Chains A and B, each alone.
Chain A
Amino acid sequence: MAKVLVVTSGKGGVGKTTSTAALGAALAQGGENVVVVDFDVGLRNLDLIMGAERRVVYDLINVVQGDAKLNQALIRDKRIENLSLLPASQTRDKDALTPEGVERVIGELREKFDWVICDSPAGIEKGALLAMRHADMAVVVTNPEVSSVRDSDRIIGMLDSKTVKAENGERMEKHLLLTRYDPGRAARNEMLKTEDVLEILSIPLLGIIPESEEVLRASNLGAPVTLNSPTSAPARAYFDAARRLKGEKVEIVVPMQRGGLMSKLFGRRVA
């Protein structure tokens, strides 16, 4: 059975697109058949992060409006054959996305893939609501910072009320992905700790992605970090998160760059 997953946050710039690409690639690297779908109409970026920006011909809106077939719009990754991208439109406005059209496309994607990962736009408007609408589960991307936590709380409320699952009285499965985490600063009480964010948002933890230069390096090169530097700390954290998404029990640690004293101090169990 296909799983539809929305990667959302409310706040912009916390790492939704990076995480969509990294989780999608990590699942595909583990043998799953994955599509990542960009819902950020007008401000698409998943194509760029995936390194497919020059291969976009048709997009989600073309498929929603029936101007292109799904197969014409899907872009297969050049590095992993079981990873595809459905890009957003860069020129149209978000009103071109209709609820009926999105429902139909998600239904078609469910038949083709094991995982349909929807990269939500920031905000709580129509685009974000459509991205979450048909999801079976949600990854809430949060930075350990007050405005991000507040917006995540708001988004969690919407996941529990504005999705098809919620309207049918079912429980939406929600997971917290804490990104840009700096264990050193958290230990010095300069940054919210994992426990603080978990206590405030009270949803289960999917993973902790440490702040790392490898993330920017990967996006500079147009490759998900799990592909570009699979042994780096953020990549290992994404691999672990992907295994947890599949239901595996994996102990949560904050991976650190290997070998240093810091990794001995902070590479310990946290939750």
Chain B
Amino acid sequence: MNLLALFRKKPSAPIARERLQVLLAHERGAHGQSELLAKLQEEILAVIAKHIKVSRDQVQVKLDRNEDIATLEIDIEMPDLSPLAAARH
């Protein structure tokens, strides 16, 4: 073993590079995803709002990712339906 190696610090740049690659692969997905979800929530809300009076927090959009499949869960909390009948006329 080279004695000098004992005193030389391990190069840190390759570690920085690897950490960044892992982190950014994750973050790019996350930002893209949250924007997609925000857009979906906005558009679904707009469609529903045409017919039913709902508030923003009554429409929830969630994306779950397992190893093989991803599921998109859309949860719409319906208000009392009587205003719906009223709105039709």
Contacts and interface: CB of A to CB of B under 8 A. Distances in A.
Contact of B13 (A150, A161, A186, A200): A186
A74 B80 CA distance: 60
A153 B24 contact: yes
Given A146-B19, A149-B20, A191-B13, 15 more contacts: A150-B24, A150-B27, A153-B28, A154-B31, A157-B28, A157-B31, A188-B11, A189-B12, A189-B14, A190-B11, A190-B13, A192-B16, A196-B13, A196-B16, A200-B20
Interface of A: 145-146, 149-150, 153-154, 157, 161, 186, 188-193, 196, 200
A41 B10 CA distance: 43
Contact of A189 (B13, B19, B20, B24): B13
B59 to A, nearest CB: 23
Interface string B1-41: 00000000001111011011101100110010001000000
Contacts, number: 38
Given A153-B27, A157-B28, A146 B14 contact: no
B21 A200 contact: yes
B13 to A, nearest CB: 5
Contact of B23 (A150, A157, A188, A189): A150
A186 B20 CA distance: 16
A192 B12 CA distance: 9
A50 B24 CA distance: 36
Given A189-B14, A192-B16, A161 B35 contact: yes
Contacts of A153: 24, 27-28
A193 B13 contact: yes
Given A189-B12, A190-B11, A200 B27 contact: no
Nearest to B35: A161
Given A150-B23, A150-B24, A153-B24, A192 B31 contact: no
Contacts of B16: 145-146, 192, 196
A193 B13 CA distance: 8
Contacts of B23: 150
A100 to B, nearest CB: 23
